[in-house]
Every structure is written in structure tokens, then in C-alpha cells.
Amino acid sequence: MNIVFIGPPGSGKGTQAKRLADSNHVPHISTGDILREAVRNTTELGKQAEPIMASGGLVPDDLMIGIIHERLQQADAASGFILDGFPRTVVQAEKLEKVLVGNGHGDLQVLHFLVPDEIIVRRIVSRRSCPSCNAIYHLENAPSKVEGVCDRCGSALVARTDDTEEAVRKRLDAFRKQTLPVVDFYRQKQSLKDVDGNGPVDQVFERIEKSLS
């Protein structure tokens, strides 16, 4: 099970990737989570990535490829993985193929999430996250039991610096310009399927399972 989830920010691919990974006992590899952890820990990677992420830009190809290459070499990815947020450019997609061949991984299945822009903006500006355990909440659809407090660990919830409407729309523009060519790249290889990402989480998950079967 070597799967790539492609979709704009806020399309729900992270939530669905975690669920699919848990049910199939493979790692969910989120480049966003890796980068945010690096920023929190003020690592060299975090220092490079923080201003780019805050402005809604995309982290350079070479930096991302190195992160993914290192992650896929870990033992838990030997039987498969779900990549969330990578590749975002055709260069990354081409280099990912080389990495997979070098690591002995098989072919990819690619799912492309489709969600209207206005729904995405509404989803993201209402999103809150826990800086301690990375739990995600939504003010409308999945609020915490106590407002502003994480159900899991009790930490104060925060809005990410890149979750403003201005930054979201910039990220959507960047996605269209840089990542939609990746959709065409995989479509030409006949390894891509479109998935309607709008609707209840369970309903979307059923669509995913149907696409993969």
C-alpha cells in the first residue's frame, strides 16, 4: 500500500490519511506535520521553513525531497505508507519515483481530493490545533469539549499562523500553479483517481475505500 493523497489545503486529506493509515497499519507521512514540528523545535529545517510557511509559500523541492527520502527509509514504511502533502511539484514527483525504486517500494496509487475553494477557506479559518499533541479541532464541525482547550492533553488550542483567509487563498493559488501539474503527471500514468472530498468524514472515507478497491 503505497498511496499519495493530493489536494489543496483544507481538503480533508490529512484527516482521511490518518484514518486510512490506522486501518491498514501503515505510517501516515505528513510533510506539514514534519515541518511544523521542525518549526516548534527551531531546528535548522524549521528556521528555513517558518517564513515560507507563514506567508503561504511552498518549501523548496530539494528540502522536501531530502525529508521524504529519509522518512521512507525508516522500518515502519517497509510495508507501505500514505504520503500527505507530497509531492507538490512535478520535480518532486519525478524524484519520488527514483526514491521508491531505490528503496524497493512498488507502484503508487494516487488520490486527488476535490473541494470548492469557499468551503476550504471556511474550513481552515475555523481550524484550531494543539501545539503539544497535534490534535486538530474545528470551531463548527469538531469543537473541543472545553472551548480553547485540547481534549487530549489540556493544552491551549491555537490558530496556525498560516490559517488566515489571506494566507489560505495564497496557498490555494500556489496549489493550482505548482501542484495541479502533478495531477496531470499521475493522470497520464493512469495511477490517479479523483475523490469528492466534500461532505461528512465517514462518507468521504467510503469514497476513498471504493476508489482504492
| Angle subtended at Cα 121 by Cα 115 and Cα 124, rounded to the nearest 5 degrees | 100
For residue 43, give its domain range. Answer: 2-115+164-212
Question: Looking at the annotation, which residues are catalytic?
Answer: 13, 88, 127, 160, 171
CATH code assigned at 82: 3.40.50.300
Q: What is the pLDDT of residues 58-100, one digit of tens each?
A: 778 888 888 888 888 889 988 899 999 889 889 999 999 988 8
Q: Please check whether residue 154 lies inside any domain of the structure.
A: no
Report the predicted TM-score, pTM, of the whole model to 2 decimal places: 0.79
Domain total of the chain: 1
Average pLDDT, the chain: 89
User: Could you count the other beta carbons within 10 Å of the beta carbon of residue 7?
Assistant: 24
Q: What is the pLDDT of residue 70?
A: 80
Q: Which helix (H) or strand (E) holds 67?
A: helix 61-72
Structural domain contains residue 34:
yes
pLDDT in tens, 21-57: 999 999 999 887 888 878 888 888 788 888 887 777 7
- Which of 11-20, 102-111, 170-179 tops mean pLDDT? 11-20
Residue 152 lies in a domain: no
In a domain, 128, yes or no: no
